[in-house]
A = this chain, B = another copy of it.
Amino acid sequence: MSVTVVGSIAYDAVQTPHGGRDRMLGGAAVHFALAASFFDEVRVVGPVGDDFGPDEYAVLHGRGVNTEDIEHVEGGKTFFWSGVYGDNMNSRETLETDLNVFETFDPKLSDGSREADVLFLANILPALQLNVRRQCENARYVALDSMDLWINIARDPLVAAISEVDCVILNDSEVELFTGEREVVAGARKIMEHGPSAMVVKLGKYGAALITADDSFWIPAFPVDFVADPTGAGDTFAGGFVGAIAAHDGEITPDVLRLAMAYGTALASFNVEEFGTERVARLTGEEIVERVEQLREITSFETSAVALR
């Protein structure tokens, strides 16, 4: 049993109010894989160029990630993104996006990746997401991430992809852009009309919501002392969330999804404490379990009788 993720492998340059990095390992598939690696074997499908070297592979192998389906494009350069975060850390400006080898990416899955038990379609062209989804016929749970760009310019292919997955993960502004609905639950339900049985709405630094057919669940971001760099938080969340689902053998009940939300939240909170993959790369299972327990503690309250007038 394993988790397959298809998406970007990148070098990122970021500036935040707390400093920056000129060139660090990043990309949706990388952040997802490192987080999900705590729960199951993870296979990464994505392209890299000649500049992608042993140091980067070492980070992935350090967490036991299977890199056989990382496609080395001869003469190519790895996807590069650079951005700068505003003072409040919830908004960022992209300075540069060099797609490089990602521009002509056509996912090629080995038999091992196609046999995935659980599949995560990170944010790539919706037509490619659908293509990959159909290759993984036996996946018992499939989640999909997307972005405003595809909602704006590739809405029909995106709807087609969404209609064949179990769970869609978007942030609240993307849900509103997609559906025109201002309220999270109403927007999520509109997207779920296309097929998915669940939707995760990311609320940036405020947390995330899980919407299912007749239920919703809300969890705050874990309040870390210091946010160094939010880059990859969403994909790290997805890795914890999807990973926890993959680690569960039985039926995917709302309780399983809720606990998965807590794992995603915990993983994301570690990710933002340092730049890029630095913190998650040296994370331990004990730290994750402790943070999930802390999340339960800081969100619990007991209802007791109050005499109302």
Contacts and interface: CB of A to CB of B under 8 A. Distances in A.
A62 to B, nearest CB: 12
Interface of A is mostly: loop
Interface in A262-309: 262-263, 285, 288-289, 292-293, 296, 298-304, 306-309
A104 interface: no
A296 to B, nearest CB: 6
Contacts of A219: 220, 299, 301
A17 B182 contact: yes
Interface stretch (A23-31, A35-43, A94-102, A122-130): A35-43
A89 to B, nearest CB: 7
Contacts of A215: 298
A207 B220 contact: yes
Contact of A218 (B87, B220, B262, B289): B220
A84 interface: no
A59 to B, nearest CB: 16
Contact of A308 (B38, B185, B262, B308): B38
A248 B306 contact: yes
Contacts of A285: 308-309
A244 B306 CA distance: 7
Contacts of A308: 38-39, 247, 285, 288-289
Interface stretch (A66-74, A136-144, A149-157, A253-261): A253-261
A258 B298 CA distance: 10
A247 B307 contact: yes
Contact of A301 (B40, B186, B262, B309): B262
B299 A39 contact: no
Interface string A225-259: 11100000000000000001001100000010011
A221 B284 CA distance: 33
Interface in A147-179: 176
Contacts of A259: 301-304, 306
Given A39-B308, A293-B303, A306-B247, A298 B225 contact: no
Interface string A101-136: 000000000000000000000000000000000000
A216 interface: yes
30 contacts: A38-B308, A38-B309, A39-B306, A40-B309, A87-B182, A88-B176, A183-B225, A183-B226, A184-B223, A203-B206, A206-B207, A207-B220, A209-B220, A215-B298, A216-B223, A217-B298, A217-B299, A217-B301, A218-B223, A220-B220, A247-B307, A258-B301, A258-B302, A259-B304, A261-B301, A263-B306, A285-B308, A285-B309, A293-B303, A296-B301
